[in-house]
């Protein structure tokens, strides 16, 4: 019998299974695809990126950039596959969506200590060490079983959305140009400008577009980090121009000036044949998506390879239910990982899976539980989701606000964040026995998008 059962082959589940297996611990990894899918899933491979293909900012002056570097030094499977399948994305780390998922799947299925089982798990196993990483789209049966496991405690939930994908060959490059914001790095984004008149017409049509019915949906239930573009638009005429369609740092080579508004497209695969509409997560009807986005000159004849979709994400009240090692307070043989714990984002989900696995491995081996302090991004995340003093718990991306401050003043936000990062990586190096600090890339870069 395997020493650990992992439920769910998403980012957190695959990372957890890999970390345990690399320590010689046998793992049974359960995944309900391809036998059963949720409406948001499109492929049968593991670690599917349901929303964006971006892992967000690459630089150490950004908290998610620090978290990625910590994971690299911890031997993260997800980060190694992301780096290996990266596509150009300016100051962000974005991946070839299908290539990334295929690589993770191949490595997991070929590990000698991992046994993959296909099928839906409807209940937490009554015996043995378990890591539940079934994701925010956990099936109804397992979701109800988890609720009962916690004594009938109510789940929390919010709504999440994905952006449309278009083919590169269908983008009118006579009305667009390649560039990264402020001309930083390589010119990786396709920039689609709009004049004031074009923007106003687009905005008015977007605000009045018909949404697809989503049971129980209200604007207030949407996670701010994945706000549908139509919801943002309804907040005010200039909301998009200060958000996903901001023109700052993007000069149109035809005029030498910044346009009134700009929609950016980011490469979604290594071949550059597919691009996604950055910041345009939506749950409009498919026909409405085509009508609205076709009002942008560069997309007037766009071929949509996938329309935007919306789904409900479910998470548990972790501060009341989990400890700092992602273990259930009521039964520490059962751990949880991924977005269902309230960590929001691909990298954060990966970090929770890694840390939950390190704790499980330590228990199995009779070792001291891993101690990563609030000085590190990994440690700060685990302490945030288990902090019983947190009121009105909501999903959250990693940020420097949850990491311990330096305790002394440093001039400039970027320099302060870099010193926090250096302190964190020194602790990570000590924890994992890294004698020489690996080279860090992307220091000081800004994120190009909000996904």
CA 279 to chain centroid, in Å, comes to: 13
Helix (H, G, I), strand (E, B) or coil at 190: strand
Question: At 1, is the pLDDT very low, low, confident or very high (cuts 50, 70, 90)?
Answer: very low
Q: Tell me the C-alpha distance between 153 and 314, whole Å.
A: 13
Percent of the chain's residues with pLDDT above 90: 68
**How confident is the model at residue 223, as a pLDDT?**
53
Give residue 283's pLDDT: 86
When pLDDT is averaged across residues 415-437 and rounded to a whole number, the result is 91
Which residues lie closer than 8 Å to 102 by C-beta, 6 or more apart?
Answer: 45
Confidence of residue 2 (pLDDT cuts 50, 70, 90): low
For 67-119, how does the pLDDT look when each residue is reduced to its tens digit (9 = 90+)? Answer: 999 999 999 999 999 999 999 888 889 999 999 999 999 999 999 999 999 99
> Is residue 310 over pLDDT 90?
no
In this predicted structure, the answer to whether residue 354 has a pLDDT above a threshold of 90 is yes
Alpha helices in 182-325 (DSSP H): 196-207, 229-233, 286-293, 318-321
Identity of the highest mean pLDDT range in 133-137, 236-240, 310-314, 440-444: 236-240
The stretch 50-74 carries a mean pLDDT of 92
Question: Is the model's pLDDT at 312 over the cut of 80?
Answer: no
Instruction: Give the DSSP H/E element, type plus range, for residue 149.
Output: helix 140-149
Mean pLDDT of the 208-235 span: 73
Tell which wins on pLDDT, 29 or 216: 29
439 confidence band (pLDDT: 50, 70, 90): very low
d(CA 206, CA 115): 48
The residue that leads in pLDDT, 189 or 136, is: 189
**Max mean pLDDT range (122-126, 160-164, 312-316):** 122-126
Reply yes or no on whether the pLDDT at 224 is more than 80: no
Flag whether the pTM goes above 0.85.
no
Bond into 186 cis (ω within 30): no
Closest CA to 114 of 30, 11, 17: 17
pLDDT band at 126 (very low <50, low <70, confident <90, very high): very high
Distance CA 407, CA 421 (A): 14
Residues paired with 193 in a beta bridge: 262
Residue 203 tokens read as: 């905005």
Confidence of residue 221 (pLDDT cuts 50, 70, 90): low
Q: Residues 230-281: pLDDT tens digits?
A: 999 999 999 999 999 999 999 999 999 999 999 999 998 888 888 999 999 9
Domains in the chain: ranges and CATH? 4-56+75-158+314-399 (3.50.50.60), 165-308 (2.40.30)
- Give per-residue burial for 403-427: e unless 16+ CB within 10 Å, then b: bbeeeeeeeeebebbbebbebbbeb
246-279: buried (b, 16+ CB within 10 Å) or exposed (e) per residue?
bbeebbbeeeeeebbbbbbbbbbbbeeebbbbbb
Residue 154 has pLDDT above 50, yes or no: yes
Q: Is the pLDDT of residue 226 over 80?
A: no
Residue 448: predicted pLDDT:
45
Backbone torsions φ then ψ of 426, nearest 5 degrees: -65, -40
Average pLDDT for the chain: 89
* DSSP 8-class letter at 280: -
Confidence grade of residue 40 (pLDDT, cut at 50, 70, 90): low
Q: What is the mean pLDDT of residues 433-441?
A: 63
pLDDT at 140: 87
With H, G, I as helix, E, B as strand and everything else as coil, classify residue 400.
helix
| Averaged pLDDT, 416-420 | 95
């Amino acid at each position: 019998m395997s020493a650990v059962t992992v439920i769910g082959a998403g980012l957190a589940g695959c990372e957890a299974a890999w970390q345990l297996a690399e320590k010689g611990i046998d793992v049974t990894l359960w995944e309900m695809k391809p036998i059963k899918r949720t409406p948001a899933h499109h492929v049968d491979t593991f670690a599917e990126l349901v929303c964006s293909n971006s892992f967000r900012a690459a630089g150490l002056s950004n908290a998610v950039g620090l978290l990625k570097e910590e994971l690299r030094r911890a031997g993260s499977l997800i980060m190694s596959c992301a780096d290996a399948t990266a596509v150009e994305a300016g100051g962000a780390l974005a991946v070839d969506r299908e290539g990334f998922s295929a690589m993770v799947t191949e490595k997991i299925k070929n590990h000698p200590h991992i046994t993959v089982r296909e099928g839906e798990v409807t209940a937490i196993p009554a015996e043995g060490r378990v890591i539940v990483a079934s994701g925010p789209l956990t099936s109804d049966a397992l979701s109800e079983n988890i609720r009962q496991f916690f004594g009938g405690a109510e789940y929390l939930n919010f709504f999440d959305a994905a952006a449309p994908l278009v083919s590169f060959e269908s983008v009118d490059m006579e009305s667009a140009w390649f560039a990264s914001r402020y001309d930083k790095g390589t010119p990786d984004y396709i920039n689609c400008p709009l004049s004031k008149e074009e923007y106003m017409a687009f905005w008015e049509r977007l605000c009045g577009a018909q949404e697809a019915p989503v049971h129980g949906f209200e604007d207030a239930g949407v996670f701010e980090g994945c706000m549908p573009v139509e919801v943002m638009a309804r907040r005010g005429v200039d909301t998009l121009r200060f958000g996903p369609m901001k023109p700052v740092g993007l000069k149109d080579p035809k005029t030498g000036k910044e346009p009134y508004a700009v929609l950016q497209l980011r490469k979604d695969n290594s071949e550059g044949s597919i691009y996604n509409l950055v910041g345009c997560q939506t749950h409009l009807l498919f026909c409405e998506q085509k009508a609205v986005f076709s009002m942008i000159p560069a997309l007037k004849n766009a071929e949509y390879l996938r329309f935007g979709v919306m789904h409900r994400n479910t998470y548990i009240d972790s501060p009341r239910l989990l400890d700092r090692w992602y273990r259930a307070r009521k039964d520490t043989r059962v751990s949880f990982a991924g977005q269902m714990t309230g960590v929001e984002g691909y990298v954060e989900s990966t970090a929770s899976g890694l840390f939950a696995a390190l704790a499980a491995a330590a228990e199995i081996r009779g070792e001291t539980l891993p101690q990563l302090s609030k000085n590190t991004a990994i440690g700060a995340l685990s302490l945030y989701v288990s902090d019983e003093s947190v009121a009105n718990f909501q999903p959250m991306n990693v940020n420097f606000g949850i990491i311990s401050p330096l305790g002394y003043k440093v001039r400039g936000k970027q320099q302060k964040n870099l010193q926090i990062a250096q302190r964190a990586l020194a602790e990570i190096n000590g924890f994992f026995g890294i004698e020489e600090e690996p080279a860090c890339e992307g220091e000081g870069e800004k994120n190009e998008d909000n996904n």
